[in-house]
Structure 1
Amino acid sequence: MSNHSTTKSILKKALLRKKKKSESTFKYILFLLHLWLGLIVGGVICFIAITGSLYVFKHEVEDLSVYSSIHREAPAESIVSIDVVQANFEASYDKTPHKITIPEKTNHNIRVQFTERGKAGITAFADRETGEIIGELSPSVPKFFNTIMFLHRWFNMENFKLGRQITAACTLVFMVLLISGLILWFPKTGKKNAWRNKFSFGFRYKFSVWNRDLHINMGMYTFIFLIVVAWTGIFFTYGWVKDITVNSLKPAELRQEASHSHNQKSQRKPSGGNQQKKKALEVNLDVLLAEANQHLNYTGDLSVMLSGKGISSPTIRKKNTHNLLGAQLYDDVKFSDKGKLMKVDLFKDRPLYQKVGSMIKPIHTGEILGLKSKIFAFILSLFAAYLPISGYIMWFKKLKGRSEKQSA
């Protein structure tokens, strides 16, 4: 037999193993599906998971790079006017800031941001007492993390829509692999020590044994977390995922209204670009801040948001961690451009579908519980990256074993 035909025979046996006597047809087909899908998309899943793990500590790395600008030697005894901070930023950069954040900690300075879609933007720091611009985040740091994010979401492809579809499809396949792995993992009923064996690890044995146990058993330990991360990832690409996760929680009348509004929007002709410029604010920001604090009477990082995604008018946003799990939830107080109070939007008062929708992204990125959930998300991402690697190792070991057996 020629080497070519021998290799072909080995590959065929490795991809189409014989059905075991005690194995059901369903599990046999499921095993082949799990194997083939894993071999095809395993590398892509590994890449998505690794880039995701690199992005987890974006804010911490950025803050570390400008540590001296953020941290004060001593806590501030007073706080400067927000209008002074805005004026100093505009004088330094000739741009109106989009967001001014006052940290809860009095030994931290004020963060001022000007954001641009797809670009690093400007992040500067103002002295908490004087409002003087004392430092700036190097554009290279957010540029690096933007690249990581583009790689994670659409492989930084020029045709980002195609890249997003590929990423989402592979993530969906990853969920299929997790579910099929769970079904294959379940032990046979009546078998002695079946459940105990499924929860044991062979770390004291050779590498191939603990690699197998890590792939199979640890995959089950982390199953629910990996499913949640994958689901919240494809939420941003597939409309049907959003419908299941958020829109299904809306009252029937709101769902009909949203559908009607979407149809009208799709039929509307694009404007000729004669949009009016946003009017300048006619109010003192400190006045808005004082009024907002009357409604948000608790401690937390506070942001003055002048524009940005979902922000059409001045909004005061406060981070609220005063809950059972310490989750980072946000309350908003919205004003008109003339300073009239428009709405007090507290997280606890929002309908369920809005609460769920606002938590999708922080759950996916690991920000929902602060640093502790970020550490967990980082470890989980690394394990998600190792799952296909361990699967490849198991398959190549069998392939090597068949090759040695064939040549013997």
Structure 2
Amino acid sequence: MKILFRRLHLYLAFAAGLVFFVQCLSGTVLVFEEEITRALYPARYTVAVPAGQPRLSLADLSQRFQQANPKYKILGYKVYADPARTVEVTFKDPNARPEGPPGGRMGGEGRPRGEGRQGGDGPRRGEGQVGKESPERGEGRMGGGPGGRGPGKGRPERGSTAFLNPYTGQVTATQSQQQLPLFKWAEDLHRRLLAGEVGKALTGLSALFILVITATGIVLWWPKTPHMLAGHLRVKWSASAKRINHDLHLALGFYCSLFLFGIALTGVIMSYQWATKSLFTLTGSQPTAPLAAPKSAAPGSSRAVAYDAALQAGQRAFACAEFWRVGIPRDSAAAVPVAAPSTLALRHNGLDTLFVDRTTGAALGQHLYARQSAGAQLRRLAKPLHTGAIGGLWTKLLALVVTLCSLTFPITGTVLWWNRTRKQRQRGKRLVAA
């Protein structure tokens, strides 16, 4: 049986090794994308807080922004609890070209733009339904329709982002693309190998292979006797180069195996629809059914929407939130959606949504992330588990260490195979000579 496992481990490693190496390399670039972007563009995200000066209301910020940019259509607001943070205004520029993923259309799992991420968009126009969305884009977010991208077909609009000083109304920066070119390129390399749908199929297949490689690797690593365990858990640096290579592959492979299996498993879930369906089957749950957003008591003009009252209602309902998103009603009767990160442990990437009457600011109903089905919540966790963002900085550091260690596996594994093959050839030559 061990021979079968060794062959599976070897052949699948050869098949997926190069793709795995490229994914690990690009993954190291993407782990701290948010932190690097904030460090490179601090003016986008923070301002000096003037003593004794209150923030401007959303109505004032909107008026100043529209006066300077009359052709732009505001799609939503994102207000942070931190008084030093800018207010993010998502807007639609009629002259801007729509942004698309490099290398072809993005299929399957999509990046959850703005889910607690800096420079992310605010809530899109309320599309009248909540709950049935792309699993990765989060239950509780405004907008119906699969994928949650682009106008038309029931999908919320996506636009550019303006960063406004909340005390002066000045636009400190604008962002027309969701990612910096380097990260956009790295993500396309990571998810599609710069080869569109063909590359996406290869990366999904690679994730499947890594699951088998990791499982068979543990079987092959398992020591025959207890006294051999210590030798499998450490690297003997004083030994020969061959022994060091052998120990690196075994020891690092064991320490990274559980995390690597989780990364590969979440990659499979994000790559294949059947994996998502299997997740719902295993949890005995169904995708969350779409819920109709409530209507305001009395229809009103689009220019007379009480966004500040809606924001205040959201701040009362979600008092401990890091930020609040205020959406634009879909029509003259729709309620104003206000969303905030879920308070569930390790679920801050999910959103709780409050619907507010557009004229009175009265709360009309809530759509809480905690009410989503178990399968929907687990599917929503796939992205932060995959990237290491689920626990903040420390889990990101752990993901970076695991990814850097994983870069060595294709190299040390190939050297192991080469040494073993050369040894077998030499043994065969000696037998022939004898």
Measured against the shorter chain, the TM-score band is: 0.7 to 0.9
The match for 1:103 is 80
| 1:359 counterpart = 2:381 | yes
C-alpha displacement of 1:193: 0.5
Distance 1:71 1:396, change over 3 A: same
Shift of 1:314: 4.6
- The whole-number CA distance in structure 2 between the counterparts of 1:103 and 1:207 is 54
Question: Residues 300 and 318 of structure 1 are in contact (CA less than 8 Å); yes or no, is this contact kept in structure 2?
Answer: yes
Q: Among the aligned pairs, what percent are the same residue?
A: 22
Q: Residue 300 of structure 1 contacts residue 321 of structure 1 at CA under 8 Å; is this kept in 2?
A: no
Corresponding residue for residue 313 of structure 2: 291
Question: What amino acid does structure 1 have at the position aligned with 2:9?
Answer: H
Q: 1:161-185: per-residue Cα shift (whole Å, max 9, x none)?
A: 3322111011101111001101111
8 Å CA contact 1:280, 1:337 repeated in 2:
no
Aligned counterpart in structure 2 of residue 146 of structure 1, from 165, 175, 184? 184
Q: Which residue of 2 aligns with 1:4?
A: none
Question: TM-score of the superposition, structure 1-length normalised?
Answer: 0.75
Contact 1:86 1:96 in 2 (8 A): no
Q: Structure 2: which amino acid aligns with 1:126?
A: L
Q: Distance in 2 between matches of 1:84 and 1:404?
A: 81
Find the partner of 1:331 among 345, 352, 356: 352
Whole-angstrom distance in 2 between the partners of 1:371 and 1:305: 29
Partner of residue 184 from structure 1, selected from 204, 220, 226: 220
Question: How far did 1:240 drift?
Answer: 1.9
- Distance in 2 (CA, whole Å) between partners of 1:290 and 1:220 is 51
Residue 163 (str. 1) matches residue 184 (str. 2): no
- Report the residue type matching 1:363 in the other structure: L
Q: Distance in 2 between matches of 1:214 and 1:380?
A: 13
The correspondence for 1:246, drawn from 280, 293, 302, is 280
Match of residue 78 from structure 1: 54
CA change 1:192–1:297 in 2 (3 A) is: closer
Instruction: Give the Cα–Cα distance (whole angstroms) in 2 for the partners of residues 313 and 167 of structure 1.
Output: 42
Q: Give the counterpart letter for 2:315 in structure 1.
A: N
The equivalent of 2:367 in structure 1 is: 345
Contact 1:34 1:177 in 2 (8 A): yes
Report the Cα distance in structure 2 between the residues aligned to 1:248 and 1:335, rounded to whole angstroms: 36
TM-aligned CA deviation for residue 143 of structure 1: 2.8
- Alpha-carbon offset, residue 392 of structure 1: 1.7
- Contact 2:86–2:165 (CA<8 Å) still a contact in 1? yes
Q: Give unmatched runs, 5+ long, in structure 2.
A: 93-97, 102-157, 291-300
Letter in 1 for 2:243: V
**Pair 1:95–1:230, CA change in 2 (3 A):** farther
* CA shift for structure 1 position 32: 1.6
Superposition deviation, residue 349 in structure 1: 3.9
Q: Is the 8 A contact 2:65 2:169 kept in 1?
A: no
Q: Which shows bigger deviation, 56-65 or 299-308? A: 299-308
1:141-194 CA-to-partner distances (Å, cap 9, x unmatched) read: 62332222122111222xx33322111011101111001101111122xx3612
1:209 partnered with 2:191? no
The 1-side partners of 2:174 and 2:13 are apart by: 45
User: Is 1:46–2:21 an aligned residue pair?
Assistant: yes
Q: Is the 8 A contact 1:46 1:389 kept in 2?
A: no
**5+ long unaligned stretches in structure 1:** 1-25, 262-278
Aligned-pair distance for 1:195? 2.2
Whether the aligned pair in 2 keeps the contact of 1:366 and 1:374 (CA below 8 Å) is yes
Contact 2:246 2:412 in 1 (8 A): yes
Match of 1:389 in 2: 411
Q: Secondary structure at the match of 2:351?
A: strand
Name the residue aligned to 1:378.
400
More divergent stretch after superposition (96-105 vs 32-41): 96-105
Q: 1:200 and 2:222 equivalent?
A: no
Aligned 1:264-343 pairs, distance under 5 A? 283-306=305-328, 314-320=336-342, 323=345, 329-335=350-356, 341=363, 343=365
Distance 1:220 1:164 in 2: 28
Distance 1:211 1:123, change over 3 A: farther
1:223 deviation in Å?
1.6
Normalising by structure 2, report the TM-score.
Answer: 0.70
Aligned partner of 1:265 in structure 2 is none
The answer (yes or no) to whether the contact 1:321–1:328 under 8 Å persists in 2 is no
Kindly indicate whether the alpha-carbon contact (under 8 Å) linking 1:51 and 1:148 is maintained by their aligned counterparts in 2. yes
CA distance in 1, matches of 2:415, 2:65: 54
CA distance in 2, matches of 1:322, 1:227: 25
- With 117-126 and 50-59 compared, the bigger mean Cα shift is at 117-126
Cα shift readout 1:183-211 (whole Å, capped 9, x = no counterpart): 111122xx361222222322343443333
Q: CA deviation at 1:52?
A: 1.8
Please say if residues 329 and 335 of structure 2, whose CA atoms lie closer than 8 Å, have aligned partners that are also in contact.
yes
Q: Rg: which structure is higher?
A: 1
Once the two structures are TM-superposed, the CA of residue 128 in structure 1 deviates from its matched residue by: 1.7
Paired residue for 1:67? Answer: 42
Distance 1:356 1:89, change over 3 A: farther
Partners of 2:340 and 2:353 within 8 A in 1: yes
The residue that corresponds to 1:20 in the other structure is: none
Q: Which amino acid aligns with 2:61?
A: V
CA contact (8 A) 2:75 2:159 kept: no
Shift in Å, 1:140: 9.9
| Gap change, CA 1:229 and 1:117, over 3 Å in 2 | farther
Per the alignment, residue 118 of structure 1 pairs with 100
Q: Distance in 2 between matches of 1:28 and 1:162?
A: 33
- Structure 1: distance between partners of 2:374 and 2:23: 30
